[in-house]
Amino acid sequence: MDSILDLKGRVALVTGAGQGVGRQVALQLAANNAGGIVVNDFHLDRAQAVAEEICRVGGKALPIACDVTDFRAVTSMVESAEGKFGRVDILVNNAGNAGPSDGLSNIKPFWETGPEEWANWLGTNLYGVLNCTRASINGMLKRNQGRIITVISDAGRVGEPHLAVYSGAKAGAAGFMRGLAKAVGRNNITANCVALAGINTPGVAALMPDEDTMKKILRAYLIRRLGEPSDAANMILFLASDAASWITGQTYPVNGGYSVSV
């Protein structure tokens, strides 16, 4: 019996896929019969490493280094993807934080920051989503089919006091996806978000200096652990599959109970 999560040879572009959640998403989609995975990362060596992992298990992959805040570079990436695989059916906007340097090591209150610092958060988390979606969507419209999944943060749902601009950027990406869902639903294109809380990735691990700090953080989670990249990837696979063909314009929290807001 065929799995309802079988991607039936569809081609996926996953941004920020060189490590963490993006890497796991790329591997999960490949394992569920994606016809090809475009592995994007700011760092080519990381993209190549993940592409090699996919190829070793029989999948097809194309590694591409690209800064998602650069619209011309993003357009070139999608053209390369279409040249290699013929199309992009699934877009996973995963690249986030403050770009290649995550910006979390020296967080200041909003009132001590200015436009230069805001640009880092807005660039990757909002403009990156706009760029990748704009570059990919014409092909989806022509084929009358597509899946667009944007990874946001629970900060975009409930706000984080130390990450006000980041919260705004993620909320903006979610609002864009809701508007887009209404614009392209008639074309059999779905647009949804996955809102993550703390995930056990290299970037998050660097913020946990000791076990006591970890215990304090985990008190905010109903399920007393950080999420794993696979927790996020499982939801993204679902939204990319035919199992979610009648779901659009929604935001799904994958957060271990960090927040239970509607």
- The residue assigned the tokens 């199309």 is 87
Closest CA to 146 of 154, 158, 155, 138: 138
**Contact residues for 25 (Cβ-Cβ < 8 A; gap 6+):** 14, 17, 92, 94, 229, 232, 233, 236, 237
How high does pLDDT run on average in the chain?
93
- Average pLDDT of span 68-73: 97
77-107 per-position pLDDT tens digit? 999 999 999 999 999 999 998 655 555 556 7
- Average pLDDT of span 136-150: 98
Out of 78-87, 230-239, 253-262, pick the least confident: 253-262
Clarify whether 221 is annotated catalytic. no
Q: How many residues does the chain have?
A: 262
Query: How many of the other CB atoms lie within 10 Å of CB of 174?
Result: 22
Q: Is the pLDDT of residue 209 over 90?
A: no
How far is residue 82 from each of residues 53, 154, 188, 235, measured CA to CA in Å? 21, 33, 20, 26
Alpha carbon 18 to its chain centroid, in Å, reads: 12
Question: Position 39: which residue type?
Answer: V
- β partners of residue 190: 147
**Contact residues for 1 (Cβ-Cβ < 8 A; gap 6+):** none
Catalytic: which of 166, 221, 252, 258?
A: 166
Closest CA to 66 of 47, 82, 83: 47
